Amino acid sequence: MDVKGILEKVREGKMSVEEAQKKFENLPYEDLGYAKLDLHRSLRSGFPETVFCEGKPDEYLAKIFETLYRENGEVLGTRASERQYQLVRALVPDITYDPVSRLLRAEKIQKEKTGLIAVCTGGTADIPVAEEAAQTAEFFRCRVERYYDVGVAGIHRLLSKRENIRRANCVIAVAGMEGALGTAVAGLVENPVIAVPTSVGYGASFHGLSALLTMINSCANGISVVNIDNGYGAAYLAAQINRLAEKH
Amino acid sequence: MDVKGILEKVREGKMSVEEAQKKFENLPYEDLGYAKLDLHRSLRSGFPETVFCEGKPDEYLAKIFETLYRENGEVLGTRASERQYQLVRALVPDITYDPVSRLLRAEKIQKEKTGLIAVCTGGTADIPVAEEAAQTAEFFRCRVERYYDVGVAGIHRLLSKRENIRRANCVIAVAGMEGALGTAVAGLVENPVIAVPTSVGYGASFHGLSALLTMINSCANGISVVNIDNGYGAAYLAAQINRLAEKH
Amino acid sequence: MDVKGILEKVREGKMSVEEAQKKFENLPYEDLGYAKLDLHRSLRSGFPETVFCEGKPDEYLAKIFETLYRENGEVLGTRASERQYQLVRALVPDITYDPVSRLLRAEKIQKEKTGLIAVCTGGTADIPVAEEAAQTAEFFRCRVERYYDVGVAGIHRLLSKRENIRRANCVIAVAGMEGALGTAVAGLVENPVIAVPTSVGYGASFHGLSALLTMINSCANGISVVNIDNGYGAAYLAAQINRLAEKH
Amino acid sequence: MDVKGILEKVREGKMSVEEAQKKFENLPYEDLGYAKLDLHRSLRSGFPETVFCEGKPDEYLAKIFETLYRENGEVLGTRASERQYQLVRALVPDITYDPVSRLLRAEKIQKEKTGLIAVCTGGTADIPVAEEAAQTAEFFRCRVERYYDVGVAGIHRLLSKRENIRRANCVIAVAGMEGALGTAVAGLVENPVIAVPTSVGYGASFHGLSALLTMINSCANGISVVNIDNGYGAAYLAAQINRLAEKH
Amino acid sequence: MDVKGILEKVREGKMSVEEAQKKFENLPYEDLGYAKLDLHRSLRSGFPETVFCEGKPDEYLAKIFETLYRENGEVLGTRASERQYQLVRALVPDITYDPVSRLLRAEKIQKEKTGLIAVCTGGTADIPVAEEAAQTAEFFRCRVERYYDVGVAGIHRLLSKRENIRRANCVIAVAGMEGALGTAVAGLVENPVIAVPTSVGYGASFHGLSALLTMINSCANGISVVNIDNGYGAAYLAAQINRLAEKH
Amino acid sequence: MDVKGILEKVREGKMSVEEAQKKFENLPYEDLGYAKLDLHRSLRSGFPETVFCEGKPDEYLAKIFETLYRENGEVLGTRASERQYQLVRALVPDITYDPVSRLLRAEKIQKEKTGLIAVCTGGTADIPVAEEAAQTAEFFRCRVERYYDVGVAGIHRLLSKRENIRRANCVIAVAGMEGALGTAVAGLVENPVIAVPTSVGYGASFHGLSALLTMINSCANGISVVNIDNGYGAAYLAAQINRLAEKH
Amino acid sequence: MDVKGILEKVREGKMSVEEAQKKFENLPYEDLGYAKLDLHRSLRSGFPETVFCEGKPDEYLAKIFETLYRENGEVLGTRASERQYQLVRALVPDITYDPVSRLLRAEKIQKEKTGLIAVCTGGTADIPVAEEAAQTAEFFRCRVERYYDVGVAGIHRLLSKRENIRRANCVIAVAGMEGALGTAVAGLVENPVIAVPTSVGYGASFHGLSALLTMINSCANGISVVNIDNGYGAAYLAAQINRLAEKH
Amino acid sequence: MDVKGILEKVREGKMSVEEAQKKFENLPYEDLGYAKLDLHRSLRSGFPETVFCEGKPDEYLAKIFETLYRENGEVLGTRASERQYQLVRALVPDITYDPVSRLLRAEKIQKEKTGLIAVCTGGTADIPVAEEAAQTAEFFRCRVERYYDVGVAGIHRLLSKRENIRRANCVIAVAGMEGALGTAVAGLVENPVIAVPTSVGYGASFHGLSALLTMINSCANGISVVNIDNGYGAAYLAAQINRLAEKH
């Protein structure tokens, strides 16, 4: 909100006090009644708003996608179901759906990808979360390399990829069960590591709590943690870091 | 380890097989018996190794500081007590101690600080953790701005500093109790936010667990979390991001 | 129970000892065998008894509604399913059902609404709990205003509604995930805030536990908490406060 | 912040754009560097700011009390130690200290007390928390009645006080161990009940967690919960409700 | 095992060493391969063995019932499903099934019931667990009285039944949500109270954990606790106490 | 309270309405201001009230002992410290103190002990809790036998005492660490077992939580649980059962 | 990796630097893109790699079995469903499926079994986990004896098998509910005991957490614990111990 | 207990029935009243009984050491304090004390050590627990090698010791914080790994719970877990395995 510009217009009589007063209240979002879409978000944060689909009522979902796609020229939905894909496709024919990552995606424009983010997983069962991260990062214009099934129980698999992973501006380490991948990766690279605990496991893994605690307690430097299974959140953060690294 | 270079020397007969074999085993750390100091760490990660002082036996502590200071020309110790300061000072007279952040620090060289990291706290009781973060980041050659006591319960205090905070390459949000500061900050800036839950609070705060859960569950974008009271860890990560942003 | 009146009647011989003895045992509820309906509750507490439908055996449910509706002229059921609606409708044709709030409701009388309660949500997924709160408060004769999707991650949305929310006698703040809405609202208004954690979220939200802890640990003044997803409980309390504020 | 007034001054040329811009940034708190005192708080919320003493650094504490007392003519500190009392008394000779409630308190003015708040405890060990609540409510100009040691294990003690307790605008129910007092009280009165779990107990009481869960899960109507041992928080809320009830 | 008798036979040459050795290994249970049925249990403990049906494989279940019924003349199964009832009925035609308590039951003999056990519940939703307790106690030859829906939120309902409940040798208090019934009952009677937490509730009741903690922390005397929803366990214990009280 | 008698007096004019009204409010406890002593408790429950000393303010403690001892002729205090013993001895010279069980005790009368309670422990570290139980039971006129250090890790030690333990009306099983003693004992006897988890242990014993969970989940019949370290509570319950068994 | 041999070849010119460099990167696993199969594992660890089937995508599963079976001549899959069995059978006709243990298994070779492992369970409901352990151990060439339903609540059943169990090189103790079997077994034998908590139970068993804590806190010597329901993990460890005991 | 031998003696008249009966009851422990010392334990389990000193009453401690040392010729005490050392030394002059491992130890005989156990730690702060393990194993006649400070955050330090560690019959992996060492070691060796979580860490490490969960959830094969900080327990188990491996 350009406070100074508005004030100058008021002083110069180009804008009435009432108009100005309104401006201060008029915030840059569209109110659909049921949801306040943040249309100017891509201006403010540099990334377009995405839609967390899980649990969204059917009647709202497609409309939200349509509005965002119309305004932004691109739209990304996370945690979508096959059924939600069908609903959205009726209004947004360009939409595509990836059942592994559960992402809905439409882009009018061809995007160039820059920088480098490495996405690693401890096992094959962590791939869905990793793909949510990887494809979201690509949607946010990052170049992505995938290193899957390189967990700590077979440490030589990770070590053989070390040089590649070190080149990334940021590494996303996705792991469930005991979740030690983040620490091992952070010990090998010099750029930030974002650890994503997954709910993969059984017994005392407590749906990802064990992996979350492991990662939060990591004794390695340069590692931080997002919520369990939150591949999207890791990708957003990685894209911010990648953008900072490539901005010049 | 320059594998190719060693192999070429072997082929050219400039290095014996035995010497080469040794090289592969000879890893870049100094073994003091009780601790394996990673002296080349500043080469590999770009940041010198620091010492987590809490619980370190007296007989080792001063020796570790002395070795690191001699080799690296600078040394940082975290979670140090007044008593440990006295111990270290006997061997490293240059050492200084800050009782708020509990940091021990000695630097032979004058360092230039670059970029910008903003350190925010929810309340005044979070300041010790925030200072650990701020001073560590400065040790790692980052320029730091402090915004203390800007918690969500008085949201106007945070909003009045918004433009300043937005300029930082990375924001460290330090908060205990309900820990909502991270989310509020992440909603205002476009660069990464590192949330540090603190053990400040009482009752059902469970020594920081409540703040940790709040931050991990943040619905804002661009936020990740480190361990409770881990100001050092946040600073390390922030310094990595700051370096990426300023590296060109 | 008018102890004095009964005693006077006994003294004056207008009531036998046996009758009086019975009175003291005769409490104002109807015993259906399986449930003790508190028919005079609206006299005692000022609000009619409501029915928590979830898990109630089919054979009891409709009978309870019928008895309460016959005696009180109005009845409210919470956490009802579509199937339970069909069961109740067979005996109470006036009953209506709202699938979002899952409320069953019948009122013979037209009620006037007074005072003001504001119901806010952090996101759109919190709306079902918020509607349970809002419609229950209306059933209890309160005027209600809704402010949905005003969470802390986009704090400007909340701030733009600030003046409206401040007018309420009581604010109900409904939020899941990190649950910081309660603190932010309590920092803006001068009347009581009732925080309702919701089970909205995933990963480490632990079905609302994280939001509950956040709210219980709030460092704002004037905030208290009810159970996870307990929109009804918040509304009851808000209606009590609203009644106190409007009683003169 | 009087937006309209400022804008009119700008239009009329009575205030420069720069001054107006500053006004929008100039929020009504005093920045001591280490703490942002909310001096106008009593205007905004109707209650003066209080000081949470536990863990406040010595060098700040007395200064904060002095500033608040000078500006507001009254000041209240919670969770103060005997030692802190000595520190504050050096700068604020009027200060008094109550070792049971651990409150520090100074009031230049004689306050009239209105309305009625009832403070109940389950046992005698809950009295310190109850006194924090009772005296804070009195500081906030409420009339208070105390009903101590009326726990559920001897329900006749509570019942004998029933009529007195029912007269209060708000009841604060303080209990540790199994914490059932809140539910029992809420079943007897028609006004709001604020339940305060205490850390009194041993074994599986887990420092108040058990009482907290009991109270949050209460099946009674009209009950909400604050943090463990948070007598101050309960009093603040009760004072808000009392003010609403007495405001006409 | 009559050690002396066997030894005397060995000495007198009436039993060979090998036979005696076997006797010491031959314990009084029938080994079905998949389950070791304790057929002499009714001799040893005074109560016949019962079958926990939940999760028992189909192929074993009916056979176990048949064996026990044949040997003991009576059999009780807990946590049985409708489907398991059908399975058992094929082999044991006398079996009956109660869908509320989920008990399977067959008795060849007419049993006399003695003593008195009172079974109370906090609400109507606790009735299934209470019926498991009540009917099991009846199976174990106890006279049982039921007092349902007498929870603490409407304490007058419990008080009006006080004299009846006091007559019981043992009271079983079944309650979910905040689980305060046990404490209230124990404050009213002089005989032992067995508290059964139920999984009834939602939100922070955590499937009965809250009620369990409440009951374990009860500040009343004469109360102990069994597992969540364990009506059977409470009944077994109550029957032991009832037997002790009536044994003369 | 003799309702009928009072009513008859009112009818006959022997008691005024006001007096009668008072009677109904006048409950049988003495109000010391800070604590409501239940002096008639020994009439009502059959056991005299005991004093939980831990945390009781010094100024109240001795007075409470004196009042109870004067009225009841006997008094028992639990969780007393050496220092509290000195305080009480000043007013109640007959008082004795046992540092292992931490019980304070004075009895004017010589009591006969009846029945039998067996107190078992898993290890030697559980003895303090076991002695609290054993001596409390003796105070409540039970005969007690002690079987210490008979834990499950050396099951032959328990088995060698089996016949003795089976003779008790009730067994108190005291164990920390993994807490399996309760189950093993319950499998050997036919009378009720009261399990007392202790806070003995380290690491993942979590101050008795592990033992508590073990005991609550016991698959043996006839076992119930009291709070961690609650030897007194177990003894109270055991004394009730012993009294029932011996009452004829 | 034969470092010396490669280096000698390089020196002698028999291998180019590039080839040698590759060797160091070429680790002994086959990369299927989605999973890195450790084909030489049986060489390195002595046991062939097994497949954790639960959650494996359909398209990968059969292919992984086929590859491992072709390379190793044997393959074992754990936690397989009936449906997965059908999928694998299409590519690996030799595969067999056991619905109790949920193991998929194919072996080209006839294996000799050596040593002895005893597998015990507390109850019949623990048999599925025990069978996963027993059959896995047999797959790893161990001789196995089963002792089922020998839980602590009927300790004589365990004692009667004592001599048999003592002969085993390693005992696997499988138990849910209170999980005391491990301690009892460890008190009877002199070889290692591996305790497997199971998720069998209800109420406060928390899906095996209670049993896990019991076993971790065991006061017996010679006992260690694997994850809840992890029969496979226990078998692997037992097979390692059995191999050590039989290796000469 | 030689059942057959005794029976034969009875048959042959060499032993009376009463004597035989006694034999069956006479279990091989010495009853000191307060503790049942298992003097024949070294015969039965092959290892002498050790004393857990923490919390043992002063009057018992020295006597227990004296008895065990006299009977067994060697004695080991764990978790001993300096003060306890002084107490024991008065009765057992041969006793030695190591303040790092907190072990008390006396051995009359010179023991030969066989086999090999490797003890690894993640950091230097884990050394006290590791030394408890290492010295206990040596007391149990095992040869021990120590590999300290080889945690996952600097994985090259562990890899450089790989060949040495692989030679051990059993590896004890001691680690706090995120506790990933166990998994990494188990991925490198073919013999059993016993993981010991330590309480080293801060914040969300929850006194070792995080490390415990990590280790229990390990996705590596051949790993099991003992209690937090339980170096003794790990050593006992490792000594059993070492003995099996070396027994031929």
Residue F2 has pLDDT above 60, yes or no: no
| Cα torsion H11, H17, H21, H23: sign | negative
| Displacement of CA D31 from its chain's centroid (Å) | 24
Distance, CA of F63 to CA of F88 (rounded, Å): 8
Count of CB atoms within 10 A of residue C5's CB?
12
Residue F129 sits at the vertex; the CA angle it makes with F128 and F133, to the nearest 5 degrees, is 115
Q: Does G162 touch chain F (CB under 8 A)?
A: no
pLDDT score recorded for residue A23: 61
Q: Which two tokens stand for residue C5?
A: 């009146």
ipTM value: 0.83
Task: Determine the average pLDDT of the residues in H64-86.
Answer: 92
3-state secondary structure of C53: coil
3-state secondary structure of D225: strand
pLDDT score recorded for residue F72: 84
Task: Determine the average pLDDT of the residues in A155-180.
Answer: 90
Average pLDDT per block of 10 residues along chain G, 248 residues long: 66 78 50 56 68 83 90 92 96 95 92 95 92 97 95 84 93 91 91 95 87 91 95 96 90
Q: Can you point out the beta strands (E) in A79-221?
A: 96-98, 103-107, 114-121, 142-147, 170-175, 193-197
Residue B1 has pLDDT above 50, yes or no: no
A188–chain B nearest CA distance, Å: 9
Distance, CA of C230 to CA of F29 (rounded, Å): 39
Residues with Cβ within 8 Å of residue B92, at least 6 apart in sequence: B62, B65, B66, B69, B75, B106
pLDDT averaged over every residue in chain B: 86
pLDDT score recorded for residue A27: 38
Q: Any idea what DSSP says for residue C190?
A: S
CB contact (8 A) between residue B226 and residue A227 = no
Residue B26 has pLDDT above 50, yes or no: no
CB < 8 Å to B4, chain G: 17, 21
Q: What percent of chain D has pLDDT above 90?
A: 53
**Cβ density class E54-73: b for 16+ within 10 Å, e for less:** eebeeebbbebbbbbbebbe
Stretch(es) of chain D classified as CATH 3.40.50.1970: 114-247
pLDDT score recorded for residue C37: 59
| Overall size of chain E counted in residues | 248
Distance, CA of D121 to CA of A53 (rounded, Å): 47
Instruction: Please name the amino acid found at residue F161.
Output: K
- Residue B105 — left, alpha, or beta (φ > 0 → left; ψ -120 to 50 → alpha)? beta
Count of CB atoms within 10 A of residue D224's CB?
31
Distance, CA of H135 to CA of H143 (rounded, Å): 10
pLDDT score recorded for residue D26: 40
3-state secondary structure of A246: helix
Residue D86 has pLDDT above 50, yes or no: yes
Task: Determine the average pLDDT of the residues in F161-172.
Answer: 94
Q: Which two tokens stand for residue C77?
A: 């059921």
Q: β-strands E114-121, E142-147: how paired?
A: parallel
Q: Nearest CA to B173 among B154, B192, B199? A: B192
A5–chain C nearest CA distance, Å: 20
Beta bridge partners of C107: C74
pLDDT averaged over every residue in chain A: 86
Task: Determine the average pLDDT of the residues in A238-245.
Answer: 96
Q: pLDDT higher for C230 or F154?
A: C230
Distances (CA, A) of F222 to A20, E220, F149, G155: 77, 21, 22, 16
Q: pLDDT higher for F149 or B153?
A: F149
CB contact (8 A) between residue B36 and residue H160 = no
CB < 8 Å to F203, chain H: 197, 199, 208, 212, 227-230
pLDDT score recorded for residue F19: 75
CB contact (8 A) between residue E25 and residue G125 = no
Tell me the per-residue pLDDT of C148-194, one tens digit each, with 9 for 90 and over. 999 888 788 888 888 899 999 999 999 998 788 999 999 889 999 99
CB < 8 Å to A248, chain B: 248
CB contact (8 A) between residue E213 and residue D217 = no
| Cα torsion E159, E160, E164, E165: sign | negative
Distance, CA of F41 to CA of F29 (rounded, Å): 9
Q: pLDDT higher for A40 or H202?
A: H202
**pLDDT band (50, 70, 90) for residue C28:** very low
CB contact (8 A) between residue F7 and residue C20 = yes
Residue D203 has pLDDT above 90, yes or no: no
CB contact (8 A) between residue C204 and residue A199 = no
Q: pLDDT higher for B237 or B47?
A: B237
Q: Which two tokens stand for residue B9?
A: 């020397």
H223–chain F nearest CA distance, Å: 18
CB contact (8 A) between residue C237 and residue D46 = no
CB < 8 Å to H204, chain A: 213, 216-217
Residue D189 has pLDDT above 70, yes or no: yes
Q: What percent of chain B has pLDDT above 70?
A: 88
3-state secondary structure of B149: coil
Per-residue pLDDT of chain E (248 residues; tens, 9 = 90+): 455 677 778 788 888 877 776 665 443 445 555 666 555 555 556 788 889 898 787 878 899 899 889 888 899 999 999 999 999 999 999 999 999 999 999 998 888 999 999 999 998 889 999 999 999 999 999 999 999 989 888 788 888 888 899 999 999 999 998 788 999 999 889 999 999 999 988 888 888 999 999 999 988 899 999 999 999 999 999 999 999 999 86
Q: Nearest CA to E233 among F192, D130, G145? A: F192
Tell me the per-residue pLDDT of B59-111, one tens digit each, with 9 for 90 and over. 788 988 998 898 888 999 999 999 999 999 999 999 999 999 999 999 988 88
The region of weakest confidence among B1-15, E46-60, F111-125, F132-146 is: B1-15
pTM of the model: 0.84
pLDDT averaged over every residue in chain H: 86
Q: β-strands A170-175, A193-197: how paired?
A: parallel
CB < 8 Å to C202, chain A: 54, 227-230
Q: Any idea what DSSP says for residue F143?
A: E
E54–chain G nearest CA distance, Å: 9
Distance, CA of A75 to CA of F184 (rounded, Å): 63
pLDDT score recorded for residue F25: 44
pLDDT averaged over every residue in chain E: 86
pLDDT score recorded for residue F248: 67
pLDDT score recorded for residue A129: 96
DSSP code per residue over G175-209? E-TT-THHHHHHTT-SS-EEEEE-S---GGGGGGH
Distance, CA of G5 to CA of B65 (rounded, Å): 42
Residue H25 has pLDDT above 60, yes or no: no
Chains D and G make contact, 3+ CB pairs within 8 Å? no
A108–chain B nearest CA distance, Å: 24
Q: Does B92 touch chain C (CB under 8 A)?
A: no
Distance, CA of G78 to CA of G81 (rounded, Å): 9
Q: What percent of chain A has pLDDT above 90?
A: 55
pLDDT score recorded for residue F9: 81
CB contact (8 A) between residue A122 and residue H219 = yes
Which chains have at least 3 CB atom pairs separated by less than 8 Å from chain E? C, D, F, G, H
Task: Determine the average pLDDT of the residues in F3-12.
Answer: 74
CB contact (8 A) between residue C219 and residue B155 = no
**pLDDT band (50, 70, 90) for residue F175:** very high
Task: Determine the average pLDDT of the residues in C136-142.
Answer: 96
* Highest-scoring range by mean pLDDT, D85-99, F8-22, G201-215: D85-99
Q: Any idea what DSSP says for residue F55?
A: T
CB < 8 Å to B99, chain D: none
Distance, CA of B49 to CA of B75 (rounded, Å): 8
**pLDDT band (50, 70, 90) for residue A33:** low
3-state secondary structure of C64: helix
Tell me the per-residue pLDDT of H92-114, one tens digit each, with 9 for 90 and over. 999 999 999 999 999 988 889 99
Residue D222 has pLDDT above 60, yes or no: yes
CB < 8 Å to F46, chain E: 190
CB < 8 Å to G226, chain H: 216, 223-225
CB contact (8 A) between residue C11 and residue F8 = no
| Cα torsion C182, C183, C189, C191: sign | positive
Question: What is the CATH topology of the domain spanning F114-247?
Answer: Rossmann fold (3.40.50)
Tell me the per-residue pLDDT of E183-197, one tens digit each, with 9 for 90 and over. 999 988 999 999 999
